[in-house]
Amino acid sequence: MPIFLFLLTISFSISANAAWDNPTDRYKGEYKKHLNASCPIASDSMKHFVYFAKDRKAIKSHPLLNNPRFVGAQIMYSWSDLEPQKDVYDFSIILEDYEYLKKHGKKLFIQLQDATFYSENKAVPNYLLDKVYDGGAVQQYTDDGNSAGSVAKRWNKQVRAQALGRQFDGKIEGINLQETAIGVSVKTDPSFNEKDYVTGIKANMLALNRLFLLQQPCNMPTLLTVNGFLGKTKVTIKAFTNTAKKLEWD
């Protein structure tokens, strides 16, 4: 009897897994229903981009290429992809996507990734994980204490991207940094502190402003931590927006 129950449990588990469908799959063909839709959209200066996250290969033959309502694609590139070794930069994937979109009359908007929301994903180069950089990155946690990916130690002066290549200045449509919200606090990482974190975000903004003179850099100022210093969020968001205004960012 125990053997029978054991086999039955395995069989049930296999069947359950086989029948499981990713709920997001139901949206895969949704756009097809609206290909011929017409809407009375007034003309304005707003530009629309399709966000692909890290699924950069999905831009190939995508409907946006033939849709005049979309200016281009926003694609996320991780720091580890662009700097495989210390001070050795490889922008070939950005160039490939830029050239492909350009061929179809579309623009590229870059999102730089230095944080992840899944523990198995790493956004920072391996060399930064050395003790010389105080580990370079740290685990993020939810309010419930569950692991929620990792983030570069933005508050550490040594852990900041140094280059992205002037070759894209004036070519790409724009570039943005990731959310300022992180699941880190002094309790989860003693090296973290509020002042240096804000300073680090501003430093990254200034660095982008120096590198990209002919198009729009921007930031994504969101709640700063899930369990760190929410009480000062309004003050800190204002500090970021004030910095952005000085740099004439959106």
Structure tokens at 41: 């959209």
pLDDT tens, per residue, the chain with 250 residues:
444 333 333 333 444 445 566 776 777 888 788 778 777 666 778 889 999 999 999 999 999 999 998 999 999 999 999 999 998 999 999 999 999 999 999 999 999 999 998 877 889 999 999 999 999 999 999 888 888 899 999 999 888 766 666 678 788 998 888 888 888 988 899 999 888 988 888 888 887 777 776 555 555 555 444 334 444 444 455 555 565 556 554 4
Query: 150 and 116 in contact (C-beta within 8 Å)?
Result: yes
Q: What pairs with residue 74 in β-bridges? A: 51, 109
The one-letter amino acid at 197: Y
pTM exceeding 0.95: no
What SS3 state is found at 5? helix
172: closest CA among 81, 79, 67, 97? 97
What SS3 state is found at 35? coil
Taking each helix axis from N to C terminus, what angle separates 233-247 and 194-211, rounded to the nearest 10 degrees? 20
Question: What is the C-alpha to C-alpha distance for residues 136 and 246, in angstroms, rounded to an integer?
Answer: 30
Residue ranges per domain, the chain? Answer: 46-247
Strands in the chain per DSSP E: 49-51, 72-78, 107-113, 137-141, 147-152, 174-179, 216-220
